[in-house]
């Protein structure tokens, strides 16, 4: 009998020794997972690699012990999308410091899929204690920089689905923001900083003075934490007054060089690209495709948590548009290698105040217009000129995907409704939820379909937005927090009076 799959960190390198059924807060799928027959050789292969990390063993020792297939797995950078008249053989080692193709386009990490496909889907399904083969096949375990990212809660949004979305029974929220620095950015940063660590150390010994990024807050938090853990200098460019206090304090506390610039994110992005072209500073933005290799593991983790049943829809809030492509890449890789037989339909959700992809989609993908993004409660996606727009289009076209938008009122209402069912969501999750509300209204998404909403950051990182929302002057907010705090004298009679008024009809 083949061993069953079990929980593992969905970061690319680690495992948390806990059985899935005991993961707190994680609900298993309602439908019983289909029984699968695995062939004997798969079972034998799986049995030989099923070691849990012992309590006294560190991450690097585990990765070193893990008997990865040695048959020449490799990955490299290729132009994205392939230039029609370009050199079909243009490719670069991941050890080169290169962010753009020779024609100035994007790059993508490509894996030797033939080498990976020598093993069956069942083999890979069983191998998820360590998936570096899917991410950075050639990293030396000694160079790994990890803060135990991944393994995030897949939350059954039972009450939100049932009471507020027309009796949905199979609605899930993937809490990617319940992570070391409070956002999904950790999944990509472990890969990028591990690779920089490899480059800086012998035998490569590249002269990289530090790692830099422009950020709407979460990238700088993640970069500074991983760099601090590895002893690598971090440099972050932030748009002044446009990020939350919680986001600002993280790079400061982690000892990064923080430049607060009098511009928006797109302005910070232009500056960091100029600076990294001039100085030996490695660029950590998601222009750098290594980040997306890590982020794609969230898709693989969702499949694993559903015991390799593919959800019907996955809704992702999008700003710079790397993550929507990363999800596609993770799902598609699992399909190509036979772990699953299809991919979900993807929805990219944008704030109406920063919606260049939505406009592009509505134009029938005819003309992309960068814009100056307006302020939004979903500040991490206030981006008017997304670096990965072409990547997003590939992801959406390949999955019969949809782009939706949400106004400030819609996104904050969706967020606070979710909060009232116990979610404590961030405004970006509110954008994705608002898209779900619309697609349910339009009957595009059915009540019985399995839907995963991707929550991108921890609600606590955006506490101020909840306060501002409560105090906001936006008229007709349908769903303001119903229970503002009441100041009461410390007196039994006064306390009883307030409770009787507040709980009228319930006592
Ligand atoms: C970065 C970020 C996003 C957007 O991801 P992209 O890859 O830039 O589209 C969404 N939500 C939060 C909280 C983020 O930090």
Q: Determine, yes or no, domain membership for 101.
A: yes
In a domain, 222, yes or no: yes
At 276, which CATH number?
3.40.50.1100
Distance 65 CA to ligand 1 centre (A): 34
* 200-235 tens-digit pLDDT: 999 999 999 999 999 989 999 999 999 999 999 999
Output the CA 317–ligand 1 centroid distance in Å. 7
Q: Is the CB of 182 under 6 A from ligand 1?
A: no
Instruction: Find all residues with CB under 8 Å of 164, minimum gap 6, and list them.
Output: 417, 421
Whole-angstrom distance, CA of residue 378 vs CA of residue 492: 42
C-alpha 55 – ligand 1 centre gap (Å): 34
pTM for the model: 0.84
Domain count, the chain: 2
Work out the number of other CB atoms within 10 angstroms of the CB of residue 137: 18
Measure 354 CA to ligand 1 centroid, in angstroms: 12
Computed over every residue of the chain, the mean pLDDT equals 86
C-alpha of residue 496 to centroid of ligand 1, in Å = 45
The Cα–Cα gap between 9 and 26 comes to 14
From 401, 413, 377, select the one nearest 316 (Cα to Cα). Answer: 401
* Structural domain includes residue 94: yes
What is the helix (H) or strand (E) element at residue 347, kind and residue range? strand 345-351
Atom of ligand 1 nearest to the CA of 457: 13
3-state SS, residue 282? strand
Domain residues for the domain of 102 are: 75-111
Element (H, E) at 174: strand 171-175
Say if ligand 1 is within 6 A of residue 185 CB.
yes
Looking at ligand 1, which residue's alpha carbon is closest to its atom 1? 380
Q: What are phi and psi of 447, to 5 degrees?
A: -65, -25
Lowest-confidence pick of 163-167, 263-267, 465-469: 465-469
Query: Residue 479's pLDDT band (boundaries 50, 70, 90)?
Result: low
470, part of any domain: no
> Cβ(139) to ligand 1 under 6 A?
no
Q: Among the residues of 201-345, which ranges form H helices?
A: 218-230, 245-253, 265-278, 289-295, 297-305, 322-336
Closest CA to 137 of 203, 215, 74: 74
Please report the pLDDT score of residue 476 as a whole number. Answer: 56
Asked if the structure places residue 11 within a domain, the reply is: no
What confidence tier does 378 reach under pLDDT thresholds 50, 70, 90? very high
Q: Is 256 among the domain residues?
A: yes
Question: Percent of the chain scored above 90 by pLDDT?
Answer: 67
Which of 111, 137, 171 finishes a domain?
111
Q: Is residue 434 part of a domain?
A: no
CB contact burial 276-285 (16+ within 10 A = b; e otherwise) = beeeebbbbb
Verify whether ligand 1 is closer than 6 Å to residue 323 (CB atom).
yes
Among 290, 307, 335, the domain-final residue is 290
Q: Which mutation among 218, 293, 325, 357 tests ligand 1's pocket best, with the greatest number of atoms within 8 A of CB? A: 218
pLDDT score at 234: 96
Q: Name 110's Cβ contacts closer than 8 Å, sequence gap at least 6.
A: 75, 76, 77, 78, 91
Confidence class of residue 26 from pLDDT cuts 50, 70 and 90? very low
The pLDDT value recorded for residue 343 is 98
In a domain, 196, yes or no: yes
CA of 216 to the centre of ligand 1 (A): 8
Pocket probe mutation, ligand 1, options 289, 456, 463, max atoms within 8 Å of Cβ: 456
Is the predicted pLDDT of residue 24 greater than 70, yes or no?
no
Gap between the Cα atoms of 330 and 332, Å rounded: 6
Q: How far is CA 251 from the centre of its chain?
A: 19
CA of 188 to the centre of ligand 1 (A): 12
Q: What is the pLDDT of residue 55?
A: 61
Please tell me the distance between residue 247's alpha carbon and the centre of ligand 1 in angstroms. 13
Query: For 343, phi and psi rounded to 5 degrees?
Result: -120, 155
Out of 57, 84, 111, pick the residue that ends a domain.
111
Least confident stretch, 116-120, 180-184, 339-343, 475-479: 475-479
Which residue minimizes the CA distance to atom 2 of ligand 1?
380
């Amino acid at each position: 009998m083949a061993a069953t799959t079990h929980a593992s960190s969905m970061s690319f390198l680690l495992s948390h020794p806990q059985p899935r059924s005991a993961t707190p807060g994680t609900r298993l799928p309602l439908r019983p997972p289909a029984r699968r027959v695995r062939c004997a050789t798969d079972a034998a292969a799986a049995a030989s690699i099923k070691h849990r990390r012992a309590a006294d063993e560190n991450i690097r020792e585990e990765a070193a012990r893990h008997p990865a297939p040695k048959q020449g797995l490799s990955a490299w950078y290729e132009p994205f999308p392939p230039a029609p008249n370009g050199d079909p053989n243009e490719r670069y080692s991941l050890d080169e410091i290169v962010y753009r193709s020779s024609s100035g386009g994007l790059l993508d990490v490509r894996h030797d899929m033939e080498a990976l496909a020598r093993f069956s889907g069942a083999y890979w399904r069983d191998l998820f204690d360590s998936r570096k083969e899917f991410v950075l096949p050639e990293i030396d375990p000694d160079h790994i920089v990890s803060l135990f990212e991944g393994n995030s809660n897949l939350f059954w949004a039972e009450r939100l689905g049932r009471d507020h979305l027309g009796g949905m029974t199979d609605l899930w929220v993937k809490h990617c923001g319940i992570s070391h620095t409070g956002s999904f950015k950790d999944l990509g940063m472990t890969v990028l900083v591990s690779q920089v660590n490899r480059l800086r150390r012998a035998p490569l010994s590249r002269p990289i003075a530090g790692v830099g990024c422009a950020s709407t807050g979460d990238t700088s938090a993640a970069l500074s934490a991983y760099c601090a853990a590895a002893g690598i200098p971090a440099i972050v460019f932030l748009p002044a007054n446009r990020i939350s206090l919680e986001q600002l304090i993280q790079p400061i506390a982690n000892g990064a060089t923080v430049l607060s610039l009098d511009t928006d994110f797109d302005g910070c992005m232009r500056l960091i690209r100029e600076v990294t072209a001039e100085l030996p500073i490695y660029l950590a933005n998601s222009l750098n495709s290594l980040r997306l290799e890590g982020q794609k593991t969230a898709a693989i983790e969702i499949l694993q948590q559903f015991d390799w049943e593919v959800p019907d829809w996955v809704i992702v809030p999008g700003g710079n548009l790397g993550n929507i492509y990363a999800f596609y890449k993770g799902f598609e890789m699992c399909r190509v290698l036979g772990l699953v037989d299809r991919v979900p339909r993807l929805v990219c959700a944008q704030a109406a105040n920063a919606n260049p992809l939505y406009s592009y989609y509505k134009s029938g993908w005819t003309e992309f217009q960068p814009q100056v993004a307006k302020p939004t409660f979903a500040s991490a996606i206030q981006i008017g000129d997304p670096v990965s727009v072409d990547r997003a289009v590939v992801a959406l076209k390949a999955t019969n995907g949809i782009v939706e938008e949400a106004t400030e009122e819609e996104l904050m209402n969706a967020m606070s409704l979710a909060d009232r069912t116990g979610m404590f969501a961030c405004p970006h999750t509110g954008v994705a939820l608002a898209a779900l509300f619309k697609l349910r209204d339009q009957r595009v998404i059915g009540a019985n379909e399995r839907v995963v909403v991707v929550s991108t950051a921890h609600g606590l990182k955006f506490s101020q937005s909840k306060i501002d929302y409560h105090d906001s002057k936006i008229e007709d907010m349908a769903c303001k927090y119903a229970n503002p705090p009441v100041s009461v004298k410390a007196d039994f009679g006064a306390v009883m009076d307030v409770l009787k008024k507040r709980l009228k009809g319930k006592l």
